[in-house]
Every structure is written in C-alpha cells, then in structure tokens.
Structure 1
C-alpha cells in the first residue's frame, strides 16, 4: 500500500475519480437519497473535504519521506478513498434499481438499457420495476452472488452476464424474463444449473462459455427450450460422447461446441433429432475422431471442424466435403 504513495499522481487521480462519482449524486435532485438529509449532508462534507485534501497532496507527498505522521495520514487517506469509492458504487446501483420511485423522477419506467459493471462490493443485485427494459448487461462484479428479480421484466430481450466469479444462481427465467431472446453467460464458473427445467420459449440464442459447471449440467440434463435456434457451448471437460438423443431442442439451426478436450465421439442419434440444423462448428476437441453413423444430417449446409480434430480429416476423406 505504501509503495503506491511514492507517486503522488496516483492519489491525486484517485481523489479526482471519487469526486467525479460524487458530484452527479449531489447535483441530481431525483437521486435515491433525496429524502435523507443527513446522508446528503455527509456526502456534501465528503466533497468539501476531498477538495481540501487535493490542495495539500503535493506538499504531503514531499513530506512523507521525512515525517512518519504525514506518511500515515496518506495511508489512511488511501484507505478512506477506497471505502468512499465502494460506497458511491453501491449508491449508484441503488439509484438504478430503486423500485419505490415516481416514474417522472427516476424515469425507470422508460429505461431501455441498463449496464452494471465492476461493482466489486455488490453481493446482491436487486432489479426493480423496469417494464420497458430491453437490454441488461452485468459484468465484472467480483462479489455478486445472485440476481434477484422480485417482479417480471416483461420487455427484456437481451441479457448478458460475464466475469462474475462469485455468482451461483440465476432467477427463474421463464417467470422473470418471459420475452428473452438472447442469453449470454460467460466466465461465471460457479453457476451450476438453470433454476427451471424449461427455458423461455422466446429464447433464440444461448451462449454458455467459460462456465464449466453449467456446461456440464446442460450436457447431462439437456436443454428444454422449444424455440432455441443458436447454441454456443464450452468448455466442458467431462464429456466423451455428445449429443445424446433428445439432449438438444429440435429447433436448433446453429450449434458450436468449443473446447471439449475429452470428447471422443459425435453421437449422430442426437444430431439426427436436430432436423433444422444448418450450421455445425467444432473447435478445440483434439480427441474427437469417432462418429456413430455413416453420414451427418443432410440439412447441414455449413460445417467447420478445427484442424486439431481427427474427425475433420476422416469426414473429409469419406464424404469429400470441405469442413470449413
């Protein structure tokens, strides 16, 4: 921690960054703290203190090497800035998810897109009344464990959740996002299942990448989603044969399997169930060399199999069709 203090520019830029987050809160008459005068007064005092601190940082930087008290003051200041930064992140999130507000003030009734990013201290994300929200993206929330949707988001069509290593559960999608069309879940290693057996019938595109537990659950339990057309899945380390019959919805038009390092056999019984499949892509499956039947589905128009996959060359020699 002290090593950072030897560069005064670090603390100065940190103070400026906290002030940038704080100023809009104090200037917004409709902010979530509008009825809490004591909290607003404390934030006002914080702003004045930060301006005062900024004016003496350069002098303190020079004195820290000869005066231990000044150096300790800088260390304490840095800790306080970290806490203030986390607090402002939480306040901003609460403002975005407030539910008991006049729609003409916060205007959450007309909100179309919402981005939640890098709220490291946030463990629970409560989503309020957003009847017209169409796109929601959540990323890099290191401590977030669950997303709570107390009432449905009836207009949501696009949901992306990425780089949330502590996230363990999702809400029941069919009930909470009945019009969802695209779902992207990436790098959330602790999610191990969907909350319900059937996904929303409106869902067209599903991406599950860098979510080993969830990918394993899908390959073992199967997907029940009658309208799904595009699926991207991987990595998955414990599968030797895929897909089994009935594992994937018959509506699939495009399937991409990526990084199945122990996959040995492509099961055509499962593929022949996918009568609408037009595109098949398989990458990073270096052990895949077997296929359970002589021919792939005639409906498949585009096939790509990675060069590290022995099955690529076997099919090319047998069928005479390019694998790109």
Structure 2
C-alpha cells in the first residue's frame, strides 16, 4: 500500500477526527507505519512517551496538517530530545505548544520558533536541563508563557532581573511555578 493509499484510507475511516493522542507506543517509528498517516483534519495532537517516534521527529511532516493548532509533546525517556524544535518541524498554524517531561532538553531552537506566527501559548514543564530561551527570542504573537519545574530557566526569566526577561517582557501573561510575574 502506498503512502497516498494509506492517507486516503485514514481520511475515509476518520474523516472528522479532530484530536488524537499517540501514547506509550514504544515501537512506533513513523506516522506512516501501519496506515497511521495523520489525517489533515486534526486540530490537536499529543505525542506522549514514544521514544522511537521522537527519535524520527524530523520525518513527522506536520506542516501538511494545516488545521493543527494544538500540539503536546511529552516524554520521560532519557535522551529523547536535547534541542527542540528543529527548523521547519512544526506547522505555522500552531496556537498552543506544550513541551513537558523532557529530562535532557537543554535548548529551545529559535529557528524552529521563527515561523510560528500564530503561537499564543507556550507551556514548558519539567525540563530540568533547559538552560535558556532562544537567543532569537520567541514569536511576537505569544501572549501566555507557562514555565513549571524548570529550575535553570526559572531563574533566567525572573521579572526585570533575569537574563532572559528582556526576551519575554512583552508577553501579557507569564507564569512561573504557579505564580504570575
């Protein structure tokens, strides 16, 4: 079966599928395997604890999901991600992005955020090794930033005294460890 046939099969089987969660699929390496080509109707997608799928994220091809507005990435595997997102990985239609439980995430790739002109909410949770925000800054469209249990980043984002404060001072609502700053 070709990729086009699988895509048609998925659209036919689930023509109005809007939200999908892929969770604990330890052996899933690609969205193309087993007919799991993501339907273009998706508004929300959660990818949780899928080690091999994370390793092959450059092949996700999420840009074709023109309705995707909400993406949630969560993993508790060591070494799952150290930098995220790669340039061109995420669709420009995203409004909300949640990144959580990435123990080895050290940096947010600014080039991966540059084209996210619709992004309004960014959630960063339990990324203990995340050192700083992208030097290029975050999208101007961002109106809510939530940071929780990211001790290295928390210090850098403190109002007026944190090194990354100038990068986020324009954001209407910044919440760090449950407190609005």
Query: Do the aligned partners of 1:203 and 1:227 also contact (CA within 8 Å) in 2?
Result: yes
Among 212, 216, 234, the residue aligned to 2:74 = 234
Is residue 262 of structure 1 aligned with residue 104 of structure 2? yes
Q: Which residue of 1 aligns with 2:13?
A: 176
Report the CA distance shift for 1:172/1:191 in structure 2 as closer, same or farther (over 3 A): farther
Is residue 203 of structure 1 aligned with residue 31 of structure 2? no
In structure 2, how many angstroms separate the alpha carbons of the residues matched to 1:277 and 1:306?
A: 19
Report the CA distance shift for 1:238/1:270 in structure 2 as closer, same or farther (over 3 A): same
| TM score, norm. by length of structure 2 | 0.73
Question: Between Structure 1 and Structure 2, which shows a larger proportion of strand residues?
Answer: 2
Q: Which has the higher contact order (CA 8 A, sep 6+)?
A: 2
Query: Do the aligned partners of 2:74 and 2:99 also contact (CA within 8 Å) in 1?
Result: yes
In structure 1, how many angstroms separate the alpha carbons of the residues matched to 2:148 and 2:25?
A: 25
Query: Do the aligned partners of 1:268 and 1:296 also contact (CA within 8 Å) in 2?
Result: yes
Q: Which residue of 2 aligns with 1:312?
A: 154
How do 1:239-254 and structure 2 match up within 5 A?
Answer: 239-254=81-96
Shift of 1:294: 4.6
| TM score, norm. by length of structure 1 | 0.43
Shift of 1:295: 2.6
Shift of 1:187: 2.1
Is residue 301 of structure 1 aligned with residue 143 of structure 2? yes
Q: Which residue of 2 aligns with 1:323?
A: 175
Q: Which residue of 1 aligns with 2:53?
A: 214
Larger Rg: 1
Report the CA distance shift for 1:172/1:247 in structure 2 as closer, same or farther (over 3 A): farther
How do 1:132-171 and structure 2 match up within 5 A?
Answer: none
Query: Do the aligned partners of 2:54 and 2:81 also contact (CA within 8 Å) in 1?
Result: no
In structure 2, how many angstroms separate the alpha carbons of the residues matched to 1:204 and 1:262?
A: 28
In structure 2, how many angstroms separate the alpha carbons of the residues matched to 1:264 and 1:187?
A: 23
Name stretches of at least 5 consecutive residues in structure 2 with no aligned partner. Answer: 1-5, 177-181
Shift of 1:186: 1.8
Query: Do the aligned partners of 1:215 and 1:234 also contact (CA within 8 Å) in 2?
Result: no
- Give SS of 1:312's match: helix
- Give SS of 1:290's match: coil
Shift of 1:197: 9.5
In structure 2, how many angstroms separate the alpha carbons of the residues matched to 1:286 and 1:238?
A: 13
- Give SS of 1:313's match: helix
Q: Which residue of 2 aligns with 1:273?
A: 115
Query: Do the aligned partners of 2:10 and 2:36 also contact (CA within 8 Å) in 1?
Result: no
In structure 1, how many angstroms separate the alpha carbons of the residues matched to 2:52 and 2:92?
A: 24
Query: Do the aligned partners of 1:186 and 1:211 also contact (CA within 8 Å) in 2?
Result: yes
In structure 1, how many angstroms separate the alpha carbons of the residues matched to 2:53 and 2:13?
A: 20
In structure 1, how many angstroms separate the alpha carbons of the residues matched to 2:93 and 2:131?
A: 26
RMSD after superposition: 2.7
Q: Deviations over 1:22-61 (max 9, x none)?
A: xxxxxxxxxxxxxxxxxxxxxxxxxxxxxxxxxxxxxxxx
